[in-house]
Amino acid sequence: MKHVKVIGQVLATFILALYIGGSAIAQDHLNTPVVAPKTSPEQAQAEGRYVYNRPTPENSVLLLIDHQTGLISGIQDYTSLAEYKNNVLALAKMAKAFDIPVVLTTSNAQWQNGELLKELKALFPDQKIIRRYGIINAYEDPNFRAALEATGRDHVLIAGVTLGTCTAFPTLSMLQDGYKVFPVIDAAGAWSRYEADAAIARMTQAGAEPVAVFSLLAEMQYDWRRDTANAAGTIFNEHLPEYGLVMDNFWNTVGQAVSDPFGLANDGAAQDDE
C-alpha cells in the first residue's frame, strides 16, 4: 500500500480535517490528550468496581500454542479455515508490529499433530519453538514456563488449538499464579461450538478476559496518533477487509473528483429540474 508510507491510512480523519476545516482544526485534534479514568485502580478496587487493567505493548506477551497443520484441520467452529488462519496471522503480525514478546510451542509435531504453520515460522524466523512431547498443558512444561517468565511480562495474550484444551488449560493455571490473562478467542479454534462455549464460560468465570483479534489490535494502538499507526493500519487493511475497503475507498478518492464516465450525475440533475 503506497499510501501507508506517505502518511498512514489510519490518519484519514486528520487529513479530512485539513480539507474541510483548515489546519487549525486538524491541529486541535492532534493536540487533544488521552484522558484516563477519573478513579484510580486502587480506589476502584477498594469500592468493589472493575479495574480496567488493559494489555499494552509494554506489559504483554503473546503465547501461540499448537497452531499446527494437523490440529488446525480439525477446527469446526469457523465457517472456513481461511478466516481462522487470517486471524492467527493478524494476531502474530500485531505482536511483531508492537514489539510484543512471543512464545511459540508445538505438541508432538513429529506425529499426527503436524508442524507449526509455515507463515508463523516465516514471521519469527529466529524464534525458538518450544517442542512438547507429551505434556498437554503448555504451562506445565518447564521449558515453556521458563520462556514465559523470561519475558518479565504479566499480561498474557494466549491463543491455542484447541480452545477447550490448549488455550483453557494454561489460562486456568496462569490465573492461579497471578497472571492477567486474555484468551484471544477468534485465533484459537475448537472442535465444536459446544467446546468453544464451554471453554469461554469456564475461563471467564475463573477471571480471564476473552478478547478478539481486531478489537485487541485497536486496544494496543489506542490512539491513532501513535507512531505504530502505519503498522496497525496495514494489518487492518490486509486482514479485515470490512475496514480495509473503507480505508481504500478514502485513499482512492481523497483530493480528487470521482469521474462520472456515463454522465449519470448530470442526467439526475436534469430530471430533477423537470
> What are the catalytic residues?
166
191 near 96, Cβ under 8 Å? no
Place of cell 436534469: 270
List the grid coordinates of 194.
459446544
Place of cell 479495574: 51
Rg (CA), the chain: 23
CA atoms within 13 A on the CB side of 216: 32
- DSSP string across 174-191: HHHTT-EEEEBGGGT--S
Q: Is 67 helix (H, G, I), strand (E, B) or coil?
A: coil
Sheet holding 60-65, edge to edge: 129-132, 102-107, 60-65, 155-160, 180-183
DSSP 263: -
